[in-house]
């Protein structure tokens, strides 16, 4: 590596903290690299600069403390673009891949810029590609006025999550957002009133860490964002601002605006792999800095272990990577004010450097025991792509878990799958068969019927099979097990009866999701029956297949109204029930007395049963709730629970998905009295009654 003269005197600097930190009239740079023999810090004058304007050589005897390379550069300010070159062994057989020609992102960089000519494919080839490489940005986190903002710390019992894509929410031309702000953090700010009106209390944002949009099959782009290159920098292409510091401030503007609206911000975070891919992928950052530390490698050290299905796996329990993950989480809480995290393929974090599953993974306990993260919502997707499934057994006490069994069991019930009756009964009361052994609250279970990965709610009732031809992979990608039912015709239809049945099924799924015990999550657009045309893996579809179509607000206003009233009453019920909420162990003891079939107190648990009722007494609210579900293809007459010691005054009908809007759900206080001792539930419908207690 060629040494350049420095125009201003630099000092050795400090190893701590890692990254680029403003101090003492300049910036302290610190980088962890065990195999490095020499390191160069590169300073660039602009995003289009072909070469660095200044190269600062870090000498082993002066700028290295153990495995940390550091230097203090006076005069450098926030907004400065920088990168590294790392010289050391390039011996793939030993798992070491230093390449002094590669320009590398700082793993701790708080901002990233992407040059106009960035080409992922070029970076997989040998040679100096400085003009095409991404650069890190020096950020001053203190240079922002939060106006007193703090994370909201809303109780889980009062939380309703809305999973969404930052760009996809406003990118459609009919969003009403100015073209310059469509698909940006600023564009989302404009649509906060919609979220408030819907009643959700938290947004779960698909990845906003800077990711490689080119990490996708040839000719397509990565839309979802599960291809991270920085665990600190917000994705710059979601910003309406073009200056290097713009994405950081615009993201914080979004968080502040959501908090003012009473909405928490949960980030979908990807600490299981990076966009550098397998041994044939590009060298962008981690690979060229310390390949053995950052990645789990196979016995043949040339190859990467692939427990993620993306080409590589982050070595999360290596001490340096553990520190990186915790420092990243702390940064997003302290400096970006986010309220929680959903960990993609979280089971990866339980694996050691050989891929073996650890009983007590250090990184998970680092996260759980960190005082900065205390009270932060931690949500695990407790499985990985190699078959490890830990739902109900994920390590730690603070974690909530995506409940994939809730999704599958509810889907099976409403398509009248034999043997689904006991399973759906379990998930309605918080999945005690999954989580009950831990003695935790029902909100440990994150209940969902759909998410970004798979069919939308509309497509769940409109397609029997996936239709992913637009992805260019011969319809081989995406899950084959969708547990869907098209209601008689594959895809769109003008048949009014089939359309009416589909609308009813959508409301059935929404009702059970929001009425069951647990923490509910809705998916962007399900409240207006957003469709992806049967595509159940739209990761590469940055177009109208994935975007929120705002014309649906009028077309499916009844479904949106249904969701709004459900969410509003759930939040009221949760607030009123703070002191009387049953734990899972209590529900297990009491459940047998609460179940009904078409005859009160006589549930039918047979494999051929498709009808179920459940009662729950809420003394503090002075009501008895009675839910019954008919997944049978004919109407059924349900016997109502009898008056108990004269305490039940009268049953009132709040929800009946078998009725057309606006009778499908009514404001709580307007619920009409149910005459007689029975109630007729239409085929494939959900009914919720309540009775005031004397």
Residues serving a catalytic function are 344, 381
- For helices 286-294 and 319-334, what crossing angle results, to 10°? 120
Give one DSSP letter per residue of 377-396, joined into a string: EEEE--B-TTS-B-TTT-SS
What is each CA distance from 433 to 59, 437, 445, 588, in whole angstroms?
59, 8, 12, 9
C-alpha to C-alpha distance for 105 and 84, rounded to whole angstroms: 7
Q: Do 276 and 285 contact (CB within 8 A), yes or no?
A: yes
Strand partners, 21: 28
Q: Which of 113, 37, 22 is nearest to 73 (CA)?
A: 22
C-alpha to C-alpha distance for 481 and 462, rounded to whole angstroms: 15
> Is the bond preceding residue 17 a cis peptide, omega within 30 degrees?
yes
C-alpha to C-alpha distance for 537 and 222, rounded to whole angstroms: 12
Task: Compute the residue count for the chain.
Answer: 694
C-alpha to C-alpha distance for 208 and 424, rounded to whole angstroms: 34
Q: DSSP E strands: which ranges in 45-186?
A: 54-58, 64-65, 68-74, 81-87, 90-91, 96-97, 111-113, 135-137, 161-164
Q: Do 258 and 193 contact (CB within 8 A), yes or no?
A: no
Give backbone dihedrals phi and psi of 457, rounded to 5 degrees, phi first: -60, -40
* 414-446-487 Cα angle (round to 5): 20
Q: Do 103 and 85 contact (CB within 8 A), yes or no?
A: yes
Q: Do 74 and 96 contact (CB within 8 A), yes or no?
A: no
C-alpha to C-alpha distance for 23 and 21, rounded to whole angstroms: 6
Please count the CA atoms within 13 angstroms of the CA of 29 that sit on its side-chain side: 32
C-alpha to C-alpha distance for 84 and 44, rounded to whole angstroms: 11
Q: Which of 205, 197, 263, 259 is nearest to 563 (CA)?
A: 197
Tell me the pairing of strands 54-58 and 38-44.
antiparallel
Q: Which residues of 552-584 are buried (b: 16+ CB within 10 A; e: fewer)?
A: beeebebbbebbbbbbebbbebbeebeeeebeb
Give one DSSP letter per residue of 260-283, joined into a string: HTT-EEEEEE--S--TT-STTS--
C-alpha to C-alpha distance for 339 and 332, rounded to whole angstroms: 9
C-alpha to C-alpha distance for 367 and 159, rounded to whole angstroms: 22
Q: Do 370 and 326 contact (CB within 8 A), yes or no?
A: yes
* 556-559-563 Cα angle (round to 5): 140
């Amino acid at each position: 590596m060629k040494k350049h003269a420095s125009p201003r005197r630099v000092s050795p600097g400090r190893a701590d903290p890692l990254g680029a930190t403003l101090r003492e009239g300049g910036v302290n740079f610190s980088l962890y690299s065990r195999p490095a023999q020499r390191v160069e810090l590169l300073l660039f004058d602009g995003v289009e600069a072909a070469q660095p304007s200044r190269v600062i050589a870090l000498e082993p005897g002066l700028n290295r403390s153990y495995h940390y390379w550091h230097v203090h550069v006076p005069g450098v300010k926030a907004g400065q673009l920088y990168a590294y070159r790392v010289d050391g062994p390039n011996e793939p057989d030993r798992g070491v891949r230093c390449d002094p020609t590669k320009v590398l992102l700082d793993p701790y960089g708080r901002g990233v810029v992407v040059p106009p000519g960035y080409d992922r494919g070029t970076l997989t080839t040998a040679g100096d590609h400085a003009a095409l490489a991404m650069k890190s940005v020096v950020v001053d986190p203190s240079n922002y006025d939060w106006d007193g903002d703090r994370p909201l710390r809303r109780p889980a019992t009062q939380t309703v999550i809305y999973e969404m894509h930052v760009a996809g929410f406003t990118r459609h031309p009919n969003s009403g957002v100015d073209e310059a702000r469509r698909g940006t953090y600023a564009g989302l700010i404009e649509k906060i009133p919609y979220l408030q009106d819907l009643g959700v209390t938290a947004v779960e944002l698909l990845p906003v860490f800077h990711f490689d949009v080119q990490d996708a099959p040839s000719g397509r782009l990565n839309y979802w964002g599960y291809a991270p290159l920085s665990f600190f920098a917000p994705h710059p292409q979601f910003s309406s601002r073009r200056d290097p510091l713009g994405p950081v401030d615009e993201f914080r503007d979004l968080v502040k605006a959501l908090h003012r609206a009473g909405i928490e911000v949960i980030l979908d975070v990807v600490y299981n792999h990076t966009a550098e891919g397998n041994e044939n992928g590009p060298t962008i950052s981690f690979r060229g800095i310390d390949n053995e530390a950052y990645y789990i490698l196979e016995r043949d050290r040339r190859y990467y272990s692939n427990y993620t299905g993306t080409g590589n796996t982050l070595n999360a329990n290596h001490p340096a990577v553990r520190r990186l993950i915790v420092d990243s989480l702390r940064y997003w809480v302290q400096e970006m004010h986010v309220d929680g995290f959903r960990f993609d393929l979280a089971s990866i974090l339980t694996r050691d450097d050989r891929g073996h599953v650890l009983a007590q993974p250090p990184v998970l306990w680092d996260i759980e025991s960190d005082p900065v993260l205390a009270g932060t919502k931690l949500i695990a997707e407790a499985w990985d792509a190699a078959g490890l499934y830990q739902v109900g057994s994920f390590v730690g006490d603070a974690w909530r878990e995506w409940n994939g069994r809730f999704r599958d069991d509810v889907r099976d019930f409403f398509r009248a799958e034999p043997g689904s009756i006991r399973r759906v009964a379990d998930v309605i009361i918080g999945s005690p068969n999954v989580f009950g052994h831990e003695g935790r609250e029902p909100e440990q279970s994150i209940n969902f019927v759909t998410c970004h990965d798979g069919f939308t709610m509309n497509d769940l009732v409109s397609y029997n099979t996936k239709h992913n031809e637009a992805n260019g992979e011969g319809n081989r990608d995406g899950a084959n097990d969708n547990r869907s039912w098209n209601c008689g015709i594959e895809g769109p239809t003008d048949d009014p009866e089939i359309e009416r049945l589909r609308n009813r099924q959508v409301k059935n799924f929404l009702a059970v999701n929001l009425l069951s015990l647990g923490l509910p999550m809705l998916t962007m657009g399900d409240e207006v029956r957003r469709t992806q045309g049967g595509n159940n893996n739209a990761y590469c579809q940055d177009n109208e297949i994935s975007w929120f179509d705002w014309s649906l607000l009028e077309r499916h206003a009844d479904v949106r109204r249904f969701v709004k009233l459900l969410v509003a009453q759930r939040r009221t019920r949760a607030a009123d029930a703070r002191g009387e909420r049953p734990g899972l162990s209590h529900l297990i003891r009491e459940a047998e007395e609460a179940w009904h079939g078409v005859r009160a107190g006589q549930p039918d648990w047979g494999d051929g049963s498709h009808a179920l009722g459940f009662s729950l007494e809420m003394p503090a609210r002075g009501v008895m709730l009675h839910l019954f579900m008919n997944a049978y293809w004919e109407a059924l007459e349900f016997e109502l629970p009898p008056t108990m010691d004269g305490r039940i005054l009268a049953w009132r009908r709040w929800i009946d998905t078998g009725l057309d809007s606006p009778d499908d759900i009514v404001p709580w206080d307007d619920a009409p009295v149910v005459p007689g001792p029975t109630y007729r539930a239409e085929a494939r419908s959900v009914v919720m009654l309540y009775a005031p207690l004397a």
